[in-house]
Amino acid sequence: MNRGPLIFLGVFVAMAFSWYGMIVSPQRQIGGQQQATVEPAGIRYPVPRPGLAQRGAEVYRANGCGYCHTQQVRPRGYGSDFERGWGLRMSVAQDFLFEQPAMLGQLRIGPDLANVGMRWNDPQWHYRHLYNPKSTVEKSTMPQFPFLFEMRVIQGDRSPEALDLTGELAPPKGYEVIPKQEARALAAYLISLQSPLSLFEAPIPAEPKKDAEPSTNTVAVSSRNSQMLGLGESLTQ
């Protein structure tokens, strides 16, 4: 008996279902993502990174930071991301709209970096940490990246960017350690990693208020955003 057509039909249906499930439906769900307008100030989120930070993303990729660090805060209940203070809300596809490619990562030898710019926003801290992680975090097991810096003779005044290194790490007298362009870009990138705004699909839980709780999600989102943007409550009422 010739079962060819039946087998063909079976394979065809299986392929068609997988194509729909794995290509068409994700494309329909997230393919058309757009910038959101975040209330109450009407600012657009996310925005493309400024040039230096964008170059820093390349340095991040080139140095394999993504092997040890993720950039995604998991939803509440899927781990202890919130308890560890890695973000105010979970990450959603919209956060990665301008990432090419998105450095989601899959292994967490170090902390999640999705919001590292909210924890450490001083380039000097990042310089010292990258130059030698033990200079800022005593028991750090993160590798050093001294090749992103250069040691040079101090000419005239000490550079304002020179690293403030003490003890064994201090350069010889008359020398200073300054960040190369890669380190500057990388620090700008790390500081740009922040997602402090409440989105409709991933609201930041509003802090309990003395008076009545906001009755809808949208109001909660905008009142949280006005707090983050430093706007008075007046705007949301």
Q: Binding to ligand HEC by residue 68, rule CB under 6 A?
A: yes
For ligand HEC, the closer CB: 60 or 82: 60
Residue nearest to ligand HEC (CB): 110
∠ Cα 159 163 164 (to 5°) = 110
Work out which of 64, 78, 201, 205 binds ligand HEC, going by CB under 6 A. 64
Interaction pattern, residues 173-212, with ligand HEC; x per rule: CB under 6 A: -------------x---x----------------------
Interaction pattern, residues 69-88, with ligand HEC; x per rule: CB under 6 A: x-------------------
Work out which of 40, 45, 52, 63 binds ligand HEC, going by CB under 6 A. 63
Distance (Å, whole) CA 72 – CA 5: 47
Distance (Å, whole) CA 25 – CA 18: 10
Distance (Å, whole) CA 121 – CA 163: 16
Q: Binding to ligand HEC by residue 60, rule CB under 6 A?
A: yes
CA 220 → CA 83, 85, 101, 115, distances in Å?
A: 21, 21, 32, 21
Distance (Å, whole) CA 166 – CA 159: 16
Q: Binding to ligand HEC by residue 105, rule CB under 6 A?
A: no
